[in-house]
Amino acid sequence: MEKMNNAFEKMKMLVGMEVDDEQQQPAIEDGNSFSFMDDFNRQCTLSTQQRFYGFAICLVSGLACTFLSIFVFFHPIKFGITFTFGNLLALGSTAFLIGPKRQVSMMLDPVRIYATAIYIASMIIALFCAFYARNKLLTLLAIILEFGALIWYSLSYIPFARSMVSKIMVSCFDTEF
């Protein structure tokens, strides 16, 4: 029965619902949590309906920006800005569902820390190339890097997806002529 209760508590945490205080105390005592994020989570208490609305609004806005960026594809600077802004909104939408603390801890998980770092760095590089450098070629290359990093980051949430894609890519390029 205890395993069932633990599984139920984990599901609550996954969707961002409140967990019993007894379950939260060991994590705080172990020092596994950030005090800033704890304070932030306490200040940002949203109902389940508000979380879903926030998630839906951010996700739809992010997807709209990403798809609208296709219309300005031949203007790489505008494309880079709208595409990156859409990715940021879509990435932020999941923080409404699971909470910002859980989002950050999942992004910094050892399994996906490199994918997260490359994804965030590629967004920063794309915005830098679009805003500051104003170089169309660099912006286009940064967007290609960002798109690849987005795919790799997304695959990090699917068990064994990155290893499967890696094996497929190796088998595709490992043909003898």
Return the domain boundaries, the chain.
48-174
Q: pTM for the complete prediction?
A: 0.69
Compute mean pLDDT per 10 residues along the chain, 177 residues long, and list them: 69 59 46 60 76 92 92 88 92 87 90 92 92 88 92 88 89 74
* Span between the terminal Cα atoms of the chain, in Å: 60
Of 119, 109, 125, 111, nearest in space to 88 by CA: 119
Q: Given this model, what pLDDT does residue 27 score?
A: 45
Sequence-ordered list of residues with C-beta below 8 angstroms from that of 121, at least 6 positions apart, any chain: 149
Q: Given this model, what pLDDT does residue 46 score?
A: 77
Q: Given this model, what pLDDT does residue 67 score?
A: 92
